[in-house]
């Protein structure tokens, strides 16, 4: 297996997505309360843009695959909105926790431990393929997207969310502030600096691959799809260190479509 994929497994086997923070204190890992609190804090505190931008009801009565489901937070939401859900992930711990998440909620999912570069499902099988925050962590992103295309039915929808290259978080917080002003670019190199975005990664001993994408580049990669539109989301003034506090909170919603940390492609096969 490619070294970057082993790094991804090391990262997320050790630090399951969403599984840290004071708000989880006292909750038993794997309990329903634990998963519910992770989901609440995702949609209300850390990523309130998600229920606004992602239509979790879009696959009601349809078959949906999530690529890189993590602990299953979004996949469970799609299921509760009435989708027939399937998921793949490369990390054993995420596979285990997502299975548990569905069990404690009494929901059904078909989950496979599987690499997105070779999706273990037939062609033309899914109405919707969803992937959030995953395919920028793998060296073969283009191949993974062609796999997503293969398993989608004609007219099927790909919802693909990746880190946005021209975001305030990438340009100001990581590159300028942490990279240049604090010296981490020289100390860790660009690859190491970017790895530190992920919880628990120090950019030296734990160094998951982290790439960013622009709209033009993504449009080229998605050229086989018949229609593509983009959204950019997830901006807070804290993404601009020091001077960001001068931006009124009310202005964040105007800046979000330009400077947000995620670019989300909605692509129809
Ligand atoms: C940052 S987490 C995001 C998880 C989930 N989508 C979420 O938003 O909480 C990245 C996920 O991608 C998975 N992943 C990374 N590379 C992968 C690959 N090549 N194939 C399948 N899953 C992969 C990791 O195991 C991890 O679960």
Q: Is the per-residue pLDDT at 7 higher than 90?
A: no
Q: Is the per-residue pLDDT at 228 higher than 90?
A: yes
Residues 6+ apart with CB under 8 A from 69: 75, 87, 88, 89, 94, 98, 111
For the stretch 14-62, pLDDT in tens is 888 888 889 999 999 999 999 999 999 999 999 999 999 999 999 999 9
252 burial (CB, 10 Å; 0-12 / 13-18 / 19+) is middle
Locate tokens 């059904």: which residue?
108
Q: Is the per-residue pLDDT at 83 higher than 90?
A: yes
What is the structure's pLDDT at 30?
95
What is the structure's pLDDT at 2?
87
Does the CB atom of residue 101 touch ligand 1 within 6 A?
no
Lowest mean pLDDT among 21-25, 156-160, 215-219, 230-234: 21-25
For the stretch 191-212, pLDDT in tens is 999 999 999 899 999 999 999 9
Q: How confident is the model at residue 185 (pLDDT cuts 50, 70, 90)?
A: very high
Does the CB atom of residue 68 touch ligand 1 within 6 A?
yes
Q: Is the per-residue pLDDT at 236 higher than 90?
A: yes
In angstroms, the Cα distances linking 1 to 80, 115, 267 are: 35, 10, 29
Task: Please give the helix or strand (H or E) that residue 109 lies within, else none.
Answer: strand 109-113
- Dihedral Cα 84, 45, 137, 11, nearest 10 deg: -100
What is the structure's pLDDT at 11?
86
What is the structure's pLDDT at 20?
84
Candidate of 53, 76, 90 to mutate for ligand 1, largest count of ligand atoms within 8 Å of Cβ = 90
Q: How confident is the model at residue 262 (pLDDT cuts 50, 70, 90)?
A: very high
Does the CB atom of residue 137 touch ligand 1 within 6 A?
yes
Q: How confident is the model at residue 259 (pLDDT cuts 50, 70, 90)?
A: very high
Q: Is the per-residue pLDDT at 8 higher than 90?
A: no
Among protein residues, the one whose CA lies closest to atom 4 of ligand 1: 70
How many angstroms separate the first and last alpha carbons of the chain? 30
Percent of the chain with pLDDT over 70: 100
The total of other beta-carbon atoms located within 10 Å of residue 120's CB is 11
Structure tokens at 239: 């993404």
Q: Which atom of ligand 1 is nearest to the CA of 88?
A: 21
| 251 CA distance to ligand 1 middle (Å) | 32
What is the structure's pLDDT at 62?
98
Does the CB atom of residue 138 touch ligand 1 within 6 A?
yes
Average pLDDT in the 102-115 region?
Answer: 98
In angstroms, the Cα distances linking 242 to 161, 172, 223, 237 are: 28, 10, 40, 9
16 burial (CB, 10 Å; 0-12 / 13-18 / 19+) is buried
Please, what is the average pLDDT of the chain? 96
Q: Which atom of ligand 1 is nearest to the CA of 42?
A: 9
What is the structure's pLDDT at 163?
98
Does the CB atom of residue 178 touch ligand 1 within 6 A?
no
Which three-class secondary structure state does DSSP give residue 46? Answer: helix
Structure tokens at 45: 């505190």
- 12 contacts 93 by C-beta, under 8 angstroms: yes
Percent of the chain with pLDDT over 90: 91
What is the structure's pLDDT at 74?
98
Q: Is the per-residue pLDDT at 1 higher than 90?
A: no
């Amino acid at each position: 297996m490619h070294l970057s994929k082993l790094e991804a497994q090391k990262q997320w086997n050790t630090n399951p997505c969403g599984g840290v923070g004071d708000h989880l204190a006292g909750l038993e890992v794997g309990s329903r309360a634990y998963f519910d609190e992770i989901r609440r804090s995702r949609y209300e505190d850390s990523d309130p843009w998600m229920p606004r931008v992602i239509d979790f009801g879009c696959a009601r009565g349809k078959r949906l695959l999530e690529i890189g489901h993590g602990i299953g937070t979004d996949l469970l939401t799609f299921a509760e909105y009435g989708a027939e859900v399937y998921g793949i992930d490369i990390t054993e711990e995420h596979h285990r926790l997502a299975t548990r998440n569905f069990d404690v909620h009494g929901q059904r999912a078909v989950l496979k431990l599987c690499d997105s570069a070779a999706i273990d499902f037939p062609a033309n099988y899914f109405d919707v393929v969803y992937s959030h925050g995953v395919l920028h962590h793998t060296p073969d992103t283009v191949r993974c997207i062609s796999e997503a295309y293969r398993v989608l039915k004609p007219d099927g929808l790909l919802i693909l969310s990746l880190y946005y290259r021209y975001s305030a978080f990438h340009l100001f917080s990581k590159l300028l502030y942490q990279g240049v002003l604090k010296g981490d670019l020289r100390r860790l190199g660009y690859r190491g600096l970017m790895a530190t975005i992920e919880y628990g990664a120090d950019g030296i001993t734990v160094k998951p691959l982290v790439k960013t994408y622009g709209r033009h580049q993504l449009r080229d990669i998605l050229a086989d799809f018949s229609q593509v539109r983009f959204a950019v989301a997830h901006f807070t003034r804290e993404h601009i260190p020091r001077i960001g506090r001068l931006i009124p909170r009310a202005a964040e919603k105007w800046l979000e479509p330009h400077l947000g940390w995620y670019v989300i492609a909605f692509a129809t096969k």
